[in-house]
Structure 1
Amino acid sequence: MKIAVYSPNWVGDAAQALPFIHELKSQNPEAKIIIVCKDWVESVFLHNPCIDDIVSLSANDVKGVINTISTGISLRKKKIDYFYTLTDSFRSSVIMWLSNAIYRVGYNTQKRAKLLTVSVPFPSTRLHRTNKYLNLIGKEKTQFGQKYIYLKKSEIDWAESLMRKRNINSPIAILPFSVADSRTFPKDKVKEWLSRSPDQYVVFGSKGDISSAKKIIEQNKGVSVHSFCGDFSLRQSIALISLCRYAIATDSGLGHISSILGVPTISFFGAGVSDITKPIGANSILLNK
């Protein structure tokens, strides 16, 4: 049996979908699990023993009607038996329908019920996002202590080597940026936290965060602060974060990654809805500020 899962599109949401994938494999140990995801979240799923195949889609693959149809039809060669969508989008249900999957399962949102063979009523109560996904297979959890992100030894070795070359030892990760400005740490607050600290810090972010990271470094002269913003891929950043002593994070994809890696993570939620999207790692502390 082949079971496909259409992944959420954001890094944090994809990370919070990992318990669903593990539970799906637990319920169907002989099945081949296929992840269909956007290419920018593929790193979340790599080397996971519960996943047998990954179909990585570019932004262009789902841009417009023609490309969406082509993508759905291209999945027919996978001969999918069950296809779950973890997004609430209409587009994902169209792709599932065009894939000729025998059973297509998802929530009855976006007027897509006719494209699904199993249209699940949207939960009437507020569920944490991970439990919203798990609800599709009749499962809910309150503890998420197991391992969900897997790194190869070669990836860890590379990260350790890079840290040594930059004379960084057991740093604290600063994950201050988010796609929403309202969730990004104020620079003055970071300066307050790091003031006169003897520890080493590494700021993680994207290419778009490079200038903001430089300002954080400039505001914290005398403190050992390094920026990895824009220098590494998401997968490389995951390996580097795994070596950090702990992390201070905003409500962001990297904050969820850090938590799921088991790195002790202090997560600050301001504009986010913490009861729905709080990190699921066992070593996480949530502060609503």
Structure 2
Amino acid sequence: MLQVNWKIEFLKRFDSTFGRLACSVSKLTVTPRKETNKQHPKVLVIRPGGIGDAALLYPALKVLREGFQNAEIDVLAEKRNYGILYLCPYIDGLFRYDFKPPGELLSVLKIKYDIVIDTEQWHRLTSAISYLTGAPLRVGFATNERAELFSHTVPYSHEDYEVYSFLNLVSSITGEKYGFDGDEPFITVDSSIVSKVAPEIQGLRKKNKTIVGLFGGATVRERKWGIHRFAQLAKDLLDEGLGIVLIGGKSDLHDHRRFEEILGKENFLGFVGRTSLMETAAVISLLDLFVTGDTGLMHVSYGVGTPTVSLFGAGIQKKWAPIGKNHIVINKNLRCSPCTRFGYTPKCPYGVKCLNDIAVDEVKEAVLTLLLNRRR
């Protein structure tokens, strides 16, 4: 996890230092084309960042495909969110700008796109890429100097659920106003991927009719509730007759071992460190409920239609928390929270009180309430 944090922090610092320069230089090196192919347009959607942003982009990609049925739609992503976008049925091509060597980015810049939609919220380098494509129609959020490189800009608000922010980008092109049904799943995992993990879930379901998944990881300390609390929650849910599945990546293996020590490895099914992102999405899709902090996998769970209990503190609930009747958000709403802006969470001087004040019993009650409501 520290390695991932280092890479993310490096990219943020690089953008802060060179992003403004890139914006200025781009305007001197390329003159965007004036004509677009209206019959069969080539569209590029730029989506850097984490898993959650990529998951919440799905509804916008869907309406984009519906509005441009004859278009060729590509997405420029990065390695850490590639797996989620790989599942998307609305796109034709998928590239990674941080793939080594940078051949995929160079390939993108050689394609004559007619429309570029930059979904990045703050950082500037993606707007430079947008401009360097030479596309006549370039859309993005007007949050800083990046706005100068777009032909169309869209205001960005922390008060809007992020799905709507992405939909607004498409609206600026089509002129249509799009709605969103918060109770309908919008990500489908291919059956071939589900079949890889289904046997283990089915085996657990023979012992426990209802299965709850837990994910205690996060990219920063300020979003972690603590693996000891998740282990206690698991104990309490086991006492209620529920099956437990623990999810995580290779960076969460240390927490997985602690979880085993507290709970006993025979008392839960662990997928930590042994599934790809796509397979993790498949596991989550087979659960009855998923408990997590404000994480990318929370958005994946929401997307595949699995009910969630999510723990919020640093993040902006109105902006990022799942909406709809199948989701419960626990948030202490302290005076110091939310503190995250544009993906940056400052170090907490209060010992992450916003999450540490959330009691295990409170989360357990939310789980049982949501499961009971689902059975009615």
- The TM-score, its normalising length taken from structure 2, stands at 0.68
Residue number in structure 2 paired with 1:34: 74
Verify: 1:275 aligned to 2:315, yes or no.
Answer: no
TM-aligned CA distance change 1:229 to 1:8, over 3 Å: same
Superposed, 1:201-280 pairs within 5 Å as 201-221=244-264, 224-280=267-323
The answer to whether the aligner puts 1:2 opposite 2:35 as a matched pair is no
SS in 1 for 2:218: coil
Please name the residue that 2:233 is paired with.
Answer: 193
Question: Equivalences for 1:61-80 in 2 at 5 Å?
Answer: 73-80=106-113
Cα displacement (A) at 1:75? 1.6
- Displacement of 1:140: 5.1
Counterpart CA distance in 1 for 2:315 and 2:109 is: 38
Give the percent of matched residue pairs that are identical in Structure 1 and Structure 2.
Answer: 25
2: CA distance between counterparts of 1:132 and 1:194?
Answer: 36
Matched residue type, 1:98: L
Q: Which residue of 2 aligns with 1:23?
A: 63
Distance 1:245 1:211, change over 3 A: same
The range that moved more, 38-47 or 222-231, is 222-231
Counterpart-to-counterpart distance in 1, 2:180 and 2:137: 28
Checking the alignment, whether the CA contact within 8 Å between 1:73 and 1:99 is kept in structure 2 is: no
Give the deviation of 1:223 after TM superposition: 7.2
Q: CA deviation at 1:227?
A: 2.4
2:118 maps to 1:85: yes
Provide Cα deviations, 1:214-257, integer angstroms capped at 9, x if missing partner: 21222124972232211111111111111112111111011110
Quick check: which has more Rg, 1 or 2?
Answer: 2
Structure 2 counterpart of 1:161, one-letter code: P
How far apart are the structure 2 equivalents of 1:171 and 1:231? 19
Q: Which amino acid in 2 is paired with 1:256?
A: H
Q: Would the aligned equivalents of 2:96 and 2:104 in 1 still touch at CA under 8 Å?
A: no
Counterpart contact for 1:72–1:99, Cα < 8 Å: no
Separation of aligned partners in 1, 2:195 and 2:324: 24
- Native 8 Å contact 1:80 1:100 kept in 2: yes
**Contact 2:154–2:168 at 8 Å: present in 1 too?**
no
**Alignment-derived partner of residue 152 in structure 1:** 190
Does the CA contact (< 8 Å) of 2:95 and 2:104 recur in 1? no
- In the alignment, the residues of structure 2 paired with residue 32 and residue 281 of structure 1 have an alpha-carbon distance, to the nearest angstrom, of 33
Aligned-partner SS, 1:143: coil
Displacement of 1:282: 5.8
Match of 1:286?
329
Contact 1:19–1:144 (Cα < 8 Å) also in 2: no
Equivalent residue letter for 2:196: W
Instruction: Tell me how far 1:269 sits from its aligned partner.
Output: 1.1
- Structure 1 residues 76 and 223: CA distance shift in structure 2, 3 A: closer
What is the rounded CA distance, in whole Å, between the counterparts of 2:307 and 2:264 in structure 1?
A: 26
Q: 1:30: how far off?
A: 2.4
Cα 1:73–1:157 shift into 2, 3 Å? closer
Higher relative strand content: 1
Question: Which residue of the partner structure matches residue 64 of structure 1?
Answer: none
- Provide the aligned length of Structure 1 versus Structure 2: 279
8 Å contact kept, 1:259–1:281? no
Judged with a 3 Å threshold, the aligned counterparts in structure 2 of structure 1 residues 71 and 117 are, in CA distance, closer, same or farther, namely farther
**Structure 1 partner of 2:6:** none
User: How do 1:114-125 and structure 2 match up within 5 A?
Assistant: 114-123=148-157
* Structure 1 segments of 4+ aligned residues over 4 angstroms from their partners: 70-73
The TM-score normalised by the length of structure 1 is 0.87
Cα distance in structure 2, aligned partners of 1:245 and 1:163: 11
Tell me, which stretches of 5 or more residues in structure 2 are unaligned? 1-40, 172-176, 333-376
- Mark the runs of 5 or more structure 1 residues left unpaired by the alignment: 62-66
- Give, as a single letter, the amino acid of the residue that structure 1 aligns with 2:217: F
Q: Contact (CA 8 Å) 1:256, 1:279: kept in 2 or not?
A: yes
Q: CA deviation at 1:85?
A: 0.5
**From 1, 5, 12, the counterpart of 2:52:** 12
Residue in 1 that maps onto 2:199? 161
